[in-house]
Amino acid sequence: MSRILKYLFLALFLPLLFLRAEDRPAQPNIIFIVGEDTGPELGCYGDALAVTPNLDRLASQGARFTRAFTHAPVCAPSRSGLITGQFPTTIGTQHMRSVLNRPPVTFTKLLRDAGYFVAWPGKTDFNFADPPDFADSRAEWLNKPKPREPFLAYTNLFKTHESQIRDEGGGFAKNTKRLTAAQRHSPAKLTPPPYHPDTPEVRADLARYYDLVTAVDYEVGDVLRWIEAQGIAENTIVIFFGDHGRGLPRSKRWCYDSGLHVPLLIRWPKQIPAGSVREDLTCFLDLSATCLALGGSKVPADFAGRILLGPNTQPEPKYVFGARDFQDETFDRIRSVRDRQWHYLRNYHPELPHAQFIDTMELGPTMRAWRREFAAGHLTDAQKFFFAKMKPVEELYDTSVDPWEVNNLATDPAHSAKLQELRAAMNNWVASTHDMAEKLSAEEMVKQGIIQPRDPKYAERLAKWAGK
C-alpha cells in the first residue's frame, strides 16, 4: 500500500516541481492606499452622510472588514507597527514623535528579499529613521508606468488629515475643488456625537471632515483607474485603510473606538468574493503578516499579526489591543482590549484628566468650542466627562448598544464577569508582549539608548498652555 501511495504522490506532485517560471502562480502586486485620519465614515459602512462612490465600489468588488482596529490612535506609533509587524509598546515606538535607535526589520525589506519591488513615496512617519533597505524607490509611482512586478506600492492620501479640517488659508478650498455642490455637506444636516457639544463650530468641522473624505474618495478613484490602465487589476491586491480615527478631539489620539476603529477594504479579483463582509476581529498588524504570506515570504515569529487571506489564513483572535502614551507633548498611558462586542480601557494615570492640552488639537475649532461650553456650564454629563479632574481607572462599554462609548459600565455589578475577563486579557497582553511602559518611562528609555531625546519644542508648547 505504501508503494502505491508513493507512486500516486509522484504522479500528482512531481510535475509541479518542473513548472516553468511563467506557468507558476504569480506573486500578486499589492497596493496600499492610506487615508490619513480616516475613520469608517464611508457609504459602504452604512454612513448615510458619506459621499464615497469609489470606495463603495471598491468594497463591492472585494471585502469590507467591519471590525478592523489599529493598535495606536495616532500616526507614528500606528505606522511603526504597520511597517514592523510588532506592537509599538514591544519595540519602543509607542511615544509619538520619539525616534527608535535600533528598529527591527521591516516587512517591506522581507518582501524585497522575496523578489518584490517596493515603491514607498512620501510619508513614512515610522518613529524611526527610514531604513535604507525598506524600499526600492521613494519616487511617486502613480500616473507613471507600473513598477517592476511583483511590486508593493504605497500612496498616502493627506487631505483628511486634522490640519486640513481647520485650514483657513485656502487649503480646504483647494482640497475640495473637485466636489460638486451636491456632494458638499451642510453643517445644518449633521449631528455631532453625544460627547461633543452641538455648536456651529463642531458642526462645521464635522461637515468639513465629510467633504475631505469625499475629496480622498476622488483620489482613490484615480488609483483604481491607473490600475485598470496598466492592465494589472486581476493580479493586484488593493488595500484601503485609515491609519486611525478621524482627526477630531476624542477620536484621534484616544483609545475609544472613534480613535481605533478604521475602515479596511481589500480587493483581489477571483480570490476574494465580490461584496464580502468580514465580521472577524482584525488588527492593523495583520496587514504586514498577510502581505508576507501572500508574497511567498515567511512571517517572522515575532510578528504579532495573523494572516487574513489566502491558503494559510489563520483563525480570528479573541481580542484586539490598543495603546497610547505620549501624544506629542502630552503624556498619558492608556491600554485597550476589544472583543467583538465589549471594549475595556485601563487608565494607568487616572490623576491625568482626559482634557490635557495637546497643541495641535487645541488649534481646532471643535476643541476651542468644547472648552468654551464647559467653562460656561453648558455641557451634558456625557460631554463633561472629558473634563473631569480624575479619570476612572477602568472603563467598560457595550458597543452593540453604546457605539459612542458614553455609558461606562465598569462599576455595574451586572457586568463584573466581562470586566474580569477583559481585565485578565489586558494583564496577559501587557505581560506577554513585554510592554516597555511597565518598567521604563520615556526618560528612562532615552537614558538606556532605546530612543533619542524628544524634540525640545514639546516643552515650549507645554509652557505655552501652562497658564491657560
For 171-292, where are the E strands, in sequence order? 236-242, 264-267, 276-278, 282-283
Q: What pLDDT does residue 93 have?
A: 98
Q: How confident is the model over 406-433, as a mean pLDDT?
A: 98
Measure the CA dihedral 323/327/331/332, to 10°: -30
Q: How confident is the model over 80-93, as a mean pLDDT?
A: 98
**Which residues make Cβ contacts (< 8 Å) with residue 419, sequence separation at least 6?**
344, 394, 396, 409, 410
DSSP state of 315: P
Q: Which residue has cell 477602568?
A: 394
For 54-116, where are the E strands, in sequence order? 63-65, 68-69
Sheet holding 342-347, edge to edge: 320-324, 334-338, 342-347, 394-398
Beta bridge partners, 69, equal 261, 283
5: pLDDT strictly greater than 70: no
Burial label, 182 (beta-carbon count in 10 A; 0-12, 13-18, 19+): exposed
388: pLDDT strictly greater than 90: yes
Mean pLDDT value across the chain: 93
% of the chain beyond a pLDDT of 70: 94
- CA distance to 202, 229, 371, 427, per residue, from 378 (Å): 14, 55, 10, 39
Q: What pLDDT does residue 457 have?
A: 85
Q: Can you list the domains of the chain with their CATH numbers?
A: 27-317 (3.40.720.10), 324-466 (no CATH)
Residues 173-228 have pLDDT tens digits of 999 999 999 999 999 999 999 999 999 999 999 999 999 999 999 999 999 999 99
- CA distance to 181, 216, 376, per residue, from 51 (Å): 12, 10, 36
Strands 342-347 and 117-119: unpaired
Q: CA–CA separation, 336 vs 249, rounded Å?
A: 18
CB 119 within 8 A of CB 141: yes
Residues 34-57 have pLDDT tens digits of 999 999 999 999 999 999 999 999
Q: Which of 11-15, 61-65, 96-100, 304-308 shows the lowest mean pLDDT across its residues?
A: 11-15
pLDDT band at 168 (very low <50, low <70, confident <90, very high): confident
Q: C-alpha grid cell for residue 309?
A: 487571506
pLDDT band at 467 (very low <50, low <70, confident <90, very high): low
- CA distance to 81, 115, 124, 338, per residue, from 131 (Å): 15, 18, 10, 33
Long-range contacts of 118-122 (CB under 8 A, 24+ apart): 118/151, 118/152, 118/153, 118/154, 119/147, 119/151, 119/152, 119/153, 119/154, 120/153, 120/154, 121/154, 121/155, 122/154, 122/155, 122/156
- Supply the residues annotated as catalytic: 75
464: pLDDT strictly greater than 90: no
126: pLDDT strictly greater than 90: yes
Q: CA–CA separation, 78 vs 126, rounded Å?
A: 8
pLDDT band at 11 (very low <50, low <70, confident <90, very high): very low
CB 322 within 8 A of CB 255: yes
pLDDT band at 6 (very low <50, low <70, confident <90, very high): very low
The vertex-335 CA angle with 334 and 339, nearest 5°, equals 145
Q: How many CB atoms lie within 10 A of CB 273?
A: 11
